[in-house]
Structure 1
Amino acid sequence: MMVLFDPGVEHRIMVCVTPQRSCERLIERGAARAKEVGGQFVVIYVNKRQELNRELKEHKILLELFETAKNLGGTVSILSGDKIYNTLADFAKNNKITHIVVGKSLRSAFEIQKHGEVINPLIKEVEKSGIQVEVVD
């Protein structure tokens, strides 16, 4: 999926969110970073195919996060893919993203082992393209 950025914009920030209210701080960080460098930002959520029927509460949180992004001047996009880090990395490369903002994982070691990790594989995948990743606590 492609997001239309202004072709003259050099700095493109991608903010990765999950359906958690705490992700609002990531959107604010991405918006601030975009403002600092005169760039644009997009908020991305990856929906794994088997998670299409999420609880209504999570949909409400995502809608609120997307509204926050729009109010701060960003755009939003929902992607679909089995491997979240691959989906994010492909989007970043295809859209010439220069900076990615992600939140530190709150998963336990057991959950990471069971479901896989996203941040480190994402960093490994995009660093080859010179994309900077900021992990926010």
Structure 2
Amino acid sequence: MMVVFDPEIEHRVMVCVTPQKSCERLIKRGAERARECNGQFVVIYVNKKQALNKDLKDHKILLELFELAKKLGGTVSILTGEEVYTTLANFSKENKITHIIVGKSLGSAFDAQKSGEVINPLRSAVEKNGITVEVVD
């Protein structure tokens, strides 16, 4: 899905979330970053194709996160893709994103290995295009 940014806006911030309450900090940081650089921000969730039937609790949390994003002046988008980092990298290139905000994984190293690490491959994929990746604790 393509998000339409104001063509006059130079700085575009993409905030990557998962259905976790702790992602509120990422959205607030994205809104703050967009204000600092007179830009716009979008909150993105990537839904893996095999995960379309998520638990209702996850949907509730996502809806709350999306409402917070809208309240703070952002837009939201749900993308679908097998490889999360590839989906995010493609979106960032298509939408001329200048800054990406991601959260440091709160899970274990085993969880990251099982579900696939996102931050380092995403950083490698986008930094060559001049996109800054900020990892928030």
Question: Does the alignment reach a TM-score above 0.5?
Answer: yes
Unaligned 5+ residue runs, structure 2?
A: none
Are 2:72 and 1:94 equivalent residues in the alignment?
A: no
**TM-score of the aligned structures, taking structure 1 as reference length:** 0.98
SS in 2 for 1:41: strand
- The equivalent of 1:68 in structure 2 is 68
- The equivalent of 1:130 in structure 2 is 130
Report deviation, 1:9.
0.1
Name the amino acid aligned to 1:134: E
Report deviation, 1:135.
0.1
SS in 2 for 1:16: strand
**TM-score of the aligned structures, taking structure 2 as reference length:** 0.98
Name the amino acid aligned to 1:46: V
Report deviation, 1:121.
0.3
Q: Distance in 1 between matches of 2:77 and 2:46?
A: 9
Tell me how many residue pairs correspond in the alignment: 137
Q: Distance in 2 between matches of 1:109 and 1:32?
A: 30
- The equivalent of 1:121 in structure 2 is 121
Name the amino acid aligned to 2:60: K
SS in 2 for 1:92: helix
Are 2:107 and 1:107 equivalent residues in the alignment?
A: yes
Report deviation, 1:106.
1.7
Report deviation, 1:116.
1.3
Report deviation, 1:107.
2.4
SS in 2 for 1:125: helix
Percent identical residues: 74
- The equivalent of 2:52 in structure 1 is 52
Q: Distance in 2 between matches of 1:125 and 1:55?
A: 31
Name the amino acid aligned to 1:30: G
The ranges of structure 1 where at least 4 consecutive aligned residues each deviate by more than 2 angstroms after the TM superposition are none
Unaligned 5+ residue runs, structure 1?
A: none
- The equivalent of 1:43 in structure 2 is 43
Name the amino acid aligned to 2:97: I
Question: Any idea what the Cα deviations from partners look like across 1:56-109, whole Å, max 9, x if unmatched?
Answer: 011000000000000000000000000000000000000000000000012211
Report deviation, 1:32.
0.5
Q: Distance in 1 between matches of 2:26 and 2:115?
A: 22
